[in-house]
A and B are shown apart, each in its own frame.
Chain A
Amino acid sequence: MSEWPPTEVGGDTRASSTISEDAPWALPMVSAIPAAQPSPSWSRRDFIKGIIASGVTVSGLSYFGSGCSGALPAQTVGGVERLLSLSVNGQLRRVDVLPAETLAMTLRYKLGLTGTKLGCDRAECGACTVLIDGVTHYSCSTLTHRVRDREITTIEGLEGPNGELHPVQQAFVDELSPQCGFCTPGQVMSAVALLRRNPNPTREEAREALAGNLCRCGAYHNYLNGVMRAAQSLGAREA
């Protein structure tokens, strides 16, 4: 324990009864302590202004439907839900949305569209990929308020009126593209966007278009087979 506590960094040595203020691992927690509930042991900390102001937040109504009938959290500054009309898969959906709410959360927890997956919530995997006005976006990193007058397409919006699979979906089945399947909806969305933009891509173009979708099973080859097959069948259908 000779190195503990870390006296050489920072000023005063901490009292042993609280978290060291200098040890780095103390901080992620500390910075999230709401200033609305100050306590003597934390009051010395120089919060940045923004943190102080944000205070205890809030969330609004329960995440889905009327099922969650428990006590609702109070609404304080910065957390008021607003009723939005979202155009999702060709339907107008009215939904209460918090300012700090991402599209992935709205889709999954308020609109029941769980085909859009949350793999990382940090724009690093692509499982949450949806189309906004036909362009691929990570819904985990898009505020829902941003898309209130845009056309959103999710994996649930691709099938035909009689439930027939989209050519990309069918091609992914035929090529046994998915393995565990968790990244698949995102892969499908990227492929659909590509083929709308470029109906006749090279394999290399397909690879670049799908590059923002991670597949830990490593099924990249089979997904690309699927994209190429879908391009063929789309071409054949139009011919």
Chain B
Amino acid sequence: MMKDMMAGFELFQPADVETALELLDRHGAASWRLAGGYDSLDWLKNRSKQTRAVVDLERIAELRGIRESGGGVEIGALTTLTEIETSQLIRERYGLLADAARKVASPQIRNAGSIGGNLCQDTRCWYYRYGVKCYRAGGNTCYAAAPEAMNREHAIFEASRCVAVTPSDCAPAVVALDAEMVVRSRAGERVIRAADFFMPPSIDIRRMTVLEPEELLVAVRLPAAWAGASFYFEKVADRNVWDFPLVNVAAAFRMDGATVADARIVCGAVQCTPRRMAAAERLVVGRPRTEQVAESAGAASAAGAEPLAFNAYKVSLVENLVRRAVRGAQTSEPA
């Protein structure tokens, strides 16, 4: 049973990115990047994961802030969800992300939780969090995929040994916005498209993103191309506070008159990474957003789903949410 008292660690509180990267480099896999801390402290209190060196990013000013950049907007990775939710700039141009941020957890968590932390957080599979030695924890089985297992919250797509899902509300939004993830290490900077940032279990079952231990997500860039598009975000969760999504949808539509010129529709919590609803997007582009188009997009969304014993309802949820996104796309309400 979890007891809450963390094992000891060294705490480093660098004031700039360079120092942080040096620390990550020095401690390698033994290091732990600490942002808002809600996911991290859960693990460290459980002690099913431990670390020798915590690199606290909180004091690094250059990781904070929302700024215009090249026609788009760049958000520092440590910017809090509250800052994103209330940013006039984000609300006006990228209301999708503001809406997603607003649906995360609770006010206090949004006050400390960062966009970077939200995007990089670990999965909430309850078996894995409980501390069992499953594939993701370095073992050789998946307890959640067993025939009798309690897997209501697990994957219906793209399972590969592990059936855990991405729990993030912001992740589908940044994929729908075709954001770029700015990643730095001592070796330099690389920019990764949001869709490629998240790690499927078929490639590496032990982590949720492509970040290497010595790397740091420093910023998220939202491209000008999707500013002011027509957006839709919806989250279905058991409770309206704290809970992770059962399924969420983030969608962006660029309109040409009444016709959809381009669309990006992304669901979360249906597989280990945010899932582009490619078939639905194809059905929508070039058509008006009528009920009929919405119906066909919804119906096409769950093709290929392979539900587990307890999560077939997610098939209907995906279909319904995609239909609603196409049907009722909304822009964020002004502040």
Contact = CB atoms under 8 A, between A and B. Distances in A.
Quick check: do A and B touch in the complex, using CB within 8 A? yes
Interface of A: 9-11, 21-22, 24-25, 27-28, 31-32, 46, 48-51, 53-54, 57-59, 76-79, 98-100, 102, 121-124, 126, 129, 135-138, 141-143, 145-146, 190, 208-209, 211-212
B54 to A, nearest CB: 7
Contacts of B109: 123, 138, 212
Contact of A99 (B54, B131, B242): B54
Contacts of B42: 122-123
Given A121-B45, A123-B109, A57 B7 contact: yes
B38 A211 contact: no
B52 interface: yes
A54 B111 contact: no
A54 B38 contact: no
A145 B8 contact: no
Contacts of A25: 132
A48 B137 CA distance: 9
A209 B45 CA distance: 27
Counting chain B residues whose Cβ lies within 8 A of the other chain, the interface size class is: 35 or more
Contacts of B58: 146
Contacts of B32: 50
B4 interface: yes
A143 B30 contact: no
Contacts of A190: 107-108
Contacts of A142: 37, 112
A122 B45 contact: yes
Given A9-B141, A129-B108, A135-B111, A141 B41 contact: yes
Nearest to B32: A50
B29 A100 contact: no
A123 to B, nearest CB: 5
B71 interface: no
B52 A53 contact: yes
A209 B106 CA distance: 9
A239 to B, nearest CB: 27
A46 B206 CA distance: 14
B45 A49 contact: no
A212 B241 contact: yes
Counting from the closest, the 9 A-B pairs by CB-CB distance are A57-B8, A212-B106, A79-B8, A99-B11, A24-B132, A28-B131, A78-B8, A53-B52, A100-B6
A211 B9 contact: no
Given A58-B8, A146-B56, 9 more contacts: A49-B29, A50-B49, A98-B8, A122-B45, A123-B106, A123-B109, A142-B112, A146-B58, A212-B107
Given A99-B11, A100-B6, A100-B8, A27 B133 contact: yes
A123 B107 CA distance: 11
A208 B241 CA distance: 9
Interface in B50-88: 50-54, 56, 58
B44 interface: yes
B41 to A, nearest CB: 5
B311 interface: no
Given A79-B8, A124-B242, A211 B30 contact: no
Contacts of A129: 108
A129 B6 CA distance: 20
B115 to A, nearest CB: 17
Contact of A211 (B46, B56, B131, B241): B241
A102 B34 CA distance: 14
A208 B82 CA distance: 13
Nearest to A35: B50
